Structure 1
């Protein structure tokens, strides 16, 4: 029956045993051949016979070694290991029988094999006991069948006891080695789990880092916009007052070119007011201020379009809104999400080089929430990247063109509002990002 691994530990132990079995069988071959020198000095008259016997054992061990490199050998590594371990023991027992029985010096080889098995080879505790018992049985049979067995009985008992001690020591070593291997595997498993846990923690930290970078960016823009509002508000108001006074003069009423120029100047001043106000709405929020407040999504959409106006030049941006666009949430954060989606869409349109670039922003009621869609007819997203677009630091842009944080931060913002930022795309045709926001309770009744 095949010794199939039944657990990760058994699988690891099987691979470990296979490696050591191959190395051990080679070592056994070398030692068996080296024993020819012992035969030459101890029993020169038996040199040829014992050399042929050693070559036979070497050939059989080589056959086992060859099997260890096959699938059969991998499945039966435990049985094959015990087989090549017993071959030298059987050879030594035969040599003991053929020489001096209990008086033979070859019994030392049995001790060496026992210690080597207990200390080096990764066999189980019960396999170690079995190997020790078989070694004792082989030795006792070899000595008992020898013609001088009766006269060497005290020596037989003494040597058998020594082999028994060696077998016991070998079994104890095997038991401790087995426990150590199991503990080593447990430690490796724990380290692997901790590494996986650290990977998750690192991914979370990367996402948090991205959010912190975005918050720092928004805080910087907030400080800038507050300063701009303070510095520009008064001169803009003065300019608007002067323009309005100019428009009320008789000269402006009779001179069409002057009137048109003053109207253009007033429109420009009003645009400056809108930009500063949008910056303040987008980025400036006092610490501790309630971030879940009712606001008009229509205003947020139009602010985002104005703030992304530079990137949207030459792009048609139709906006479809319901009659009531009140939602509940963090207006500056939602404006940030919309700016990010519009900017990404604009970049996709630049890459696609469409004759009629278009980004459609559509808001539709969806029960107690409003669904927001930002759809462009740009270059689309490759299927293999669709599942990764929300990963922190993932970007398909050139190095230095972006950190790959915008969509991951936007995903977290939408998730904080109880929704999910989703994406659908067809490569080369279009991309649509969607998310939804909760409506105030009194608006959904």
Structure 2
């Protein structure tokens, strides 16, 4: 028997115990009602014994009631099968006593013994051995009732016939219970398999959704690359022409003698240089090698940081960004992907701080070498992340933003990017004070 099957049977027994507890409580109340309603039979069949039988029936019902009350205790819940077996025998003892007190093997109450046997096998989730034991106990009680009858056994053939019928009922009920128990376990097994399949399907769907998000991200990068390639040719030439014209204009005597013109041309020149930097940053995506390994290209992390700051300048408006980097930041990896990770971290931090109305919003980027890896820390002074959300920030499609403001894939994809570089992206936060994201990149050998 495999360990999984052993575990399945253990879980099945736990669930079956709860089901037996429920059946025992419901069945006990039903039996009490039927025992008391049997007074009508006493009135029809044995009216002269009605009062005595009524007292016995009430005593039996009270005893069953006590047994049911015990099921509400911790001990009763633990031994529900034994308690149920005992209170089920109480009606059999009562009927057997009535057989003894009336006509012995000639009493009509023997039919009640058979009905109870079938009821136990059909209505209660008893085991085959328990049902068989209940049947043998009933046969024994019937034998004692007839044998102890004041007149003894008057009609041996009738007694033997009824005894055999009761035994057949017990045997048939046990066989039915055996197959019913197997069928119940099979249904539980199928339900468990379906639950596992559903879990696997949910995980597969989640993985597919994550892959889809990554593909969408790659498609966006490819689109940026295509656009950048065009920009390199279409923008660089007119920008260079404008810079040359600005240089010439700044040499004009009128400009040299006009502070306002010099300031205007200087601002225009800086704007043109900014355009050059942005186009240069976009070149990273334009000439990115598709399918290249994550750790096969050396690049300066400082340069990637500069690019990410320029490309996320719109989101970083009003945010003070500081840095603390070592002199050497040469690492191995996918520069475009790392720029994407930094842009995502900056954008998330800026959005959270703007949304929370953080006074003097700041982002500090620090890095240091440890064990041949550059460990990077991106920390903000924003509202922080709640503890229940901190453990889920890297889950695909998990987001605290409003509907339509994000898919919840940015950090999940960033996590995969850093993992692809042999590192780990993890978050720390103090609610209401700060949030920090940490990752590491390999050094160039």
TM-score w.r.t. length of structure 1? 0.89
Question: For the structure 1 residues 41 and 265, does the alpha-carbon distance in structure 2 shift closer, same or farther, using more than 3 Å as the test?
Answer: closer
The reply to whether residue 406 of structure 1 matches residue 432 of structure 2 is no
Task: Provide the rounded CA distance (Å) in 2 between the counterparts of 1:355 and 1:114.
Answer: 79
**After the TM superposition, which of the residue ranges 135-144 and 238-247 deviates more from structure 2?**
238-247
Q: Secondary structure at the match of 2:303?
A: helix
Kept in 2: contact 1:282–1:333 (CA 8 A): no
User: Partner residue of 2:244?
Assistant: 241
Per the alignment, residue 157 of structure 1 pairs with 160
8 Å Cα contact 1:283-1:332 kept in structure 2: no
1:182 aligns with 2:190: no
The alpha carbon displacement at 1:256 in A equals: 5.5
Q: Distance in 1 between the 2:391 and 2:341 partners?
A: 19
Aligned match of 1:362? 366
Report the 3-state secondary structure (helix = DSSP H, G, I; strand = E; otherwise coil) of the residue aligned with 1:219. helix
| Partner residue in 2 for 1:40 | 43
Structure 1 residue 420, shift from structure 2 partner:
0.8
Cα 1:122–1:257 change in 2 (3 A) is closer
Q: Distance in 1 between matches of 2:184 and 2:120?
A: 15
Residues 84-138 of structure 1 deviation map (CA, whole Å, 9 limit, x = unaligned): 2111211221222222221222111111111111111111222111111111111
1:418 aligns with 2:409: no
Query: 2: distance between equivalents of 1:206 and 1:241?
Result: 50
The farther-off stretch of 98-107 and 192-201 is 192-201
Residues 367, 428 of structure 1: alpha-carbon distance in 2 compared, 3 angstrom cutoff = same
Greater CA drift, 207-216 or 416-425: 207-216
Cα distance, 1:157 vs structure 2: 1.1
Q: CA deviation at 1:206?
A: 3.7
Structure 1 residue runs without a partner (length 5+): 1-5
- Cα gap change, 1:379/1:100 in structure 2, threshold over 3 Å: closer, same or farther? closer
Q: Give, in whole Å, the separation in 2 of the partners of 1:429 and 1:97.
A: 84
The Cα offsets for residues 172-231 of structure 1, whole Å up to 9 and x where unpaired, read as 112112222322332333333334334433443343333233223323322333333332
How many equivalent pairs are there?
436
**Which region of structure 1 is more displaced relative to structure 2, 322-331 or 343-352?**
343-352
Distance in 2, matches of 1:356 and 1:96, equals 94
Paired with 2:361 and 2:142, the residues of 1 have a C-alpha distance of 93
State the secondary structure of the residue aligned to 2:320.
coil
Aligned CA-pair RMSD: 2.5
* Match 1:380 to one of 381, 384, 392: 384
Q: Report the CA distance shift for 1:58/1:290 in structure 2 as closer, same or farther (over 3 A).
A: closer
Q: Distance in 1 between matches of 2:288 and 2:266?
A: 34
SS class of match (1:401): coil
Q: C-alpha distance in 1, partners of 2:277/2:253?
A: 30
Contact 1:392 1:408 in 2 (8 A): yes
Helix, strand or coil at the partner of 2:331: strand
Structure 1 stretch displaced more, 432-441 or 30-39: 30-39
Per-residue deviation, 1:82? 1.6
Stretches of structure 2 lacking an aligned partner (at least 5 in a row): 1-8
2:4 equivalent in structure 1: none
1:138 lines up with 2:141 in the alignment: yes
Task: Look up the match of 2:32.
Answer: 29
Q: Is the 8 A contact 1:393 1:405 kept in 2?
A: yes
Give the secondary structure class of the aligned counterpart of 2:438. strand
Q: Which residue of 2 aligns with 1:119?
A: 122
CA distance in 2, matches of 1:409, 1:283: 20
Q: Is the 8 A contact 2:105 2:153 kept in 1?
A: no
- Structure 2 Cα separation of the partners of residues 355 and 336 of structure 1: 27
